[in-house]
Amino acid sequence: MPYRVLVADDDRAIRESLVRALELEGYEVVEVSDGVDTLATARRERFDVLILDVMMPSVDGLGVCRVLRADGDGTPILMLTARVETTDRVAGLDAGADDYLPKPFELDELLARLRALLRRAAPDAAGGPGQRLRLDRLTVDPGARRVWWLDTEISLSKTEFDLLELLVRNTGIVLDRATIYRRIWGYEFGPESKNLAVYIGYLRRKLEEAGAPELIHTVRGVGYSVRST
């Protein structure tokens, strides 16, 4: 079965060019032009990935993303934005998007990012859930994609879970930023990207709220590592 993609953009030219390109790549595509239709369609039908423009009438892309995440919808979301400021891009990630792409963009890059999101969302090719991972009193269940500190379950987004699992699987090892970007996003961002730091911040806050001590450590100039305190 082809992957199903929802494309939401109020710019007709961009929307139609994306639809044509994606269909040529073998995707099944549904298009909408505003936030209200996006929410209605995403709730009514199943999609493998959503492509949302930030600036849409009625409800903007950030609002759509927040509502879907509040509904418990974990479908991967690629956010498109004409805004180039770091704060604007961070806002998209903070709303629950899995990735962002500034306009204008190269089609090849958009397709690569879609493939990366779909790979991350796919079930483990090995087929087994694997053993639970433990660090101090933290438990990570890769098969169920659930995390606990003692008896408190921690709710994580898809990207947050992938990042924490990667770090815990490499407990005591310093993972450099380039390696983490390749493993989690499927490619490297530019040196000024704040994506990784934003998600590390999310994880630290959620772990702290569950009562965990500092487990994620920054190694300046290199990357991150997890270890018991």
pLDDT at 221: 86
Contact 98, 198 (CB under 8 A): no
Token pair belonging to 106:
């190269």
Fold that domain 133-226 belongs to in CATH: Arc Repressor Mutant, subunit A (1.10.10)
Bridge partners (DSSP) of residue 134 are: 139
Rg (CA), the chain: 18
- pLDDT the model gives residue 17: 94
Res 40: pLDDT: 93
| CATH 1.10.10.10 segments of the chain | 133-226
User: What's the pLDDT score for residue 126?
Assistant: 37
Q: How many CB atoms lie within 10 A of CB 120?
A: 18
Q: Which pTM was predicted?
A: 0.61
Task: Note the pLDDT of residue 125.
Answer: 38
In the predicted model, residues of the chain with pLDDT beneath 50 are: 124-129
- Domain 4-121 top-level CATH class: alpha beta
CATH 3.40.50.2300, the chain: domain bounds: 4-121
Closest to 156 in 3D by CA, of 213, 193, 202, 220: 202
